[in-house]
Chain A
Amino acid sequence: MDGYTSGIITLLAINCIAALGVSLFTGFTGVFTLGHAGYMAIGAYTAAILTVQYEVNFIVAIIAGGILAMIFAYLIGLPTLKLVGDYYTIASLGLGEAIRLIIENWESFTRGSRGYPGIDNYTSMPVAVSFLLVMGIGMFFLVNSNYGRAFKACRDDYVAASLLGFNTARFRVFSLAISGFYCGVSGALLGGFMSFIQPVMFDMAKSTELVSIVVFGGLGSMSGCLIGTTILTLVTELFRPISQYRMLVYGMVLVLVMVLRPEGIMGTSELTKDYIKNIFTRRKKITAADGGAR
């Protein structure tokens, strides 16, 4: 396998991990966020500083990046997740920008807006793919468990959820914390892939990218999330020679998906054996997968 292909697969894995995190929070817990790039930034800078200045083992650094991002997400979530609807989205936007601004201005620690160079190239393809596999399986399992049902209940009807005994506030914060962990790890892996990180890599455009991917793949489908990431990552690689079109494409994808097919590629279904069978037999079973009012 040549360097170019393995590079694409690595980038794909990195994007997938972040997308899984956002999917859990936005798709499965129903909270729309425009600030998750901030958690990637925390993970990236943590890992960068640990490996470069303190010569910490990179795996430990990556996990530390994830954990620190998770802690921030948790602390941020506690006061802000009381907000409903648009208010939280705006808060997340503000917080994401605030994180980026703090990193930009704290030059002594983070080297500021010029970026942090010289990161060891520790994110090889096997490393990235291994993280994706472990974290991906964990996410699938989580979503198919009592936690998954709790998150979905909070998403579908938080009043009904609380009347079923769920502490909806706690579950939303928890979902945010986990998604923070995923984005933190993804950011840390990104740093080790690019060998260089800059605050501008984690701005509102990045947060929007994350959300676009999840929406495109299908809010409420983990397999959709992976499919969406793959398609969009490959497409943007194709557009790399004309990279100014990249963001234009992203924007258009968002608009077109929302206008034509808001449920995204997979809707809320997962790519299971049944699903594939149904495509071929074209039998319209009213399963939970594609029925119901949203």
Chain B
Amino acid sequence: MDMIIQQVINGLSLGSVYALIAVGYSLVYSILLFSNFAHGGFLVIGGYICYFALRGAGMGIWAASLAALIGAGISAVIVERLAYKPIRERTPITLYMLIASMGMSIVIENIFVVTVGGRFRALPPVIPTQPVNVFGLATTSAFDLLSLATAVVFLVGLQLFLSKTKWGLAIRAASYNLRVAGLMGVNVNRLISIVFFVAGLLAGVGGIFLSVRYTLYPQLGMITTKAFVAAVIGGLGSLPGAVVGSLILGLAEMLTAGFISSQFRDLVVFGLLIITLIVRPTGLFGKSVGEKV
């Protein structure tokens, strides 16, 4: 019983970090209707900025995190402007952006390989990781609780942003129909930049936590593959879906690792993906796009 609660908390914690990444990914998808495979890159950028801010510049964790988030957000905007904007202005076919995003993902990962090297780096232990007793039922690490709490804070923040601000409203409108939103007076380019900034920022938060959990290395972005899976399970384009999908995935992973074997973890992830796609491709909350003939 102890074990189950332990793994559940682990699963929720992992899932909440996935949620930060999956939500940003789904947000971009809901506006531009394409899968940004470079999303993992923003995560890694966040991680490295935080690392170098802590190690190199000797900043405190709050300052370093802030730098990382802003840096990740800005890098997302840059990627969009450099690679996606020219393509989307020329053609509505999303395939080209998809391929370009694949390329960007490789470019970002390998820029780090080439400049700072591929070795694993541990973040300085500024985030507490000591064991904590939860209501006397199980022990888990402070880190898991902290990442869960942080994720909740940011997701709630995102929800407030989307529901209470002017740009949030614009984004919600654009997710229904980008072109019409533009016709209604929304500055589409600026909207897309804001969306990417937000997505990058959220990925950056995820990046910091994942760097602590798994140490930091250029291919850490590959973990976003699992976040993609989560987004698909929840339904591409749906933000609540991304959160739910992420939690499901995190739980499935942790319960499998705990009770079956660690090796099967990844297989379970992809197994869930395939089952979802076969049984209900639009995921739990996704919108099915019908074509008018």
Tell me if chains A and B make direct contact, with any CB pair below 8 A: yes
Q: Say whether A212 faces chain B, with CB atoms less than 8 Å apart.
A: yes
Stretch at the interface among A58-66, A80-88, A165-173, A183-191: A80-88
Contact partner of B274 among A85, A91, A262, A294, CB < 8 A? A91
Q: Say whether A247 faces chain B, with CB atoms less than 8 Å apart.
A: yes
Residues of B within 8 A of A294 (CB): 91, 93
Q: Would A97 and B270 count as touching, CB distance under 8 A? A: yes
Residues of A within 8 A of B107 (CB): 248, 251-252, 255
Contact partner of A258 among B99, B105, B271, CB < 8 A? B99
Q: Say whether B152 faces chain A, with CB atoms less than 8 Å apart.
A: no
Restricting to B264-288, which residues have a CB under 8 Å from any CB of A? 264, 266-267, 270-271, 273-274, 277-278, 281
Q: Would B99 and A254 count as touching, CB distance under 8 A? A: yes
Q: Would B270 and A101 count as touching, CB distance under 8 A? A: yes
CA distance A80 to B276 in the complex (A): 11
Q: Would B270 and A80 count as touching, CB distance under 8 A? A: no
Q: Would B103 and A32 count as touching, CB distance under 8 A? A: no
Q: Say whether A272 faces chain B, with CB atoms less than 8 Å apart.
A: no
Contact count band on B: 35 or more
Closest Cβ of chain A: how far from B18's Cβ, in Å?
Answer: 15
Q: Say whether A20 faces chain B, with CB atoms less than 8 Å apart.
A: no
CA distance A89 to B228 in the complex (A): 11
Residues of B within 8 A of A258 (CB): 83, 87, 96-97, 99-100, 103
Q: Would B102 and A98 count as touching, CB distance under 8 A? A: no
Given contacts A94-B273, A101-B266, A244-B114, contact A83 B83 (CB under 8 A): no
Closest Cβ of chain A: how far from B268's Cβ, in Å?
Answer: 10
Q: Would A262 and B87 count as touching, CB distance under 8 A? A: yes
Restricting to A204-257, which residues have a CB under 8 Å from any CB of B? 204-205, 208, 211-212, 215, 244-245, 247-248, 250-255
Chain A binding surface SS class? helix
Q: Would A254 and B102 count as touching, CB distance under 8 A? A: yes
Chain B binding surface SS class? helix
Q: Would B98 and A32 count as touching, CB distance under 8 A? A: yes
Residues of A within 8 A of B93 (CB): 294
CA distance A268 to B27 in the complex (A): 34
Most buried by A among B34, B82, B110: B110
Closest Cβ of chain B: how far from A268's Cβ, in Å?
Answer: 14
Q: Would B106 and A247 count as touching, CB distance under 8 A? A: yes
Q: Would A251 and B114 count as touching, CB distance under 8 A? A: no
Q: Would A247 and B267 count as touching, CB distance under 8 A? A: no
Contact partner of B270 among A98, A105, A212, A254, CB < 8 A? A98
Q: Say whether A127 faces chain B, with CB atoms less than 8 Å apart.
A: no
Restricting to B105-119, which residues have a CB under 8 Å from any CB of A? 105-107, 109-111, 113-114, 118
CA distance A174 to B232 in the complex (A): 26
Q: In the complex, which residue of chain A has the Cβ closest to the Cβ of B293?
A: A159
Q: Would A255 and B98 count as touching, CB distance under 8 A? A: no
Given contacts A98-B270, A247-B110, contact A254 B100 (CB under 8 A): yes
Q: Say whether B95 faces chain A, with CB atoms less than 8 Å apart.
A: yes
Q: Would B87 and A251 count as touching, CB distance under 8 A? A: no
Residues of A within 8 A of B83 (CB): 255, 258-259
CA distance A94 to B266 in the complex (A): 10
Closest Cβ of chain B: how far from A133's Cβ, in Å?
Answer: 30
Q: Say whether A93 faces chain B, with CB atoms less than 8 Å apart.
A: yes
Q: In the complex, which residue of chain B has the Cβ closest to the Cβ of A32?
A: B95
Residues of B within 8 A of A252 (CB): 103, 107
Restricting to A66-95, which residues have a CB under 8 Å from any CB of B? 79-80, 82-83, 85-87, 89-91, 93-95
In the assembled complex, 10 residue pairs joining A and B whose CB atoms fall closer than 8 Å, in A order, are A82-B281, A85-B94, A93-B228, A97-B266, A208-B106, A244-B114, A247-B106, A251-B110, A258-B97, A262-B96
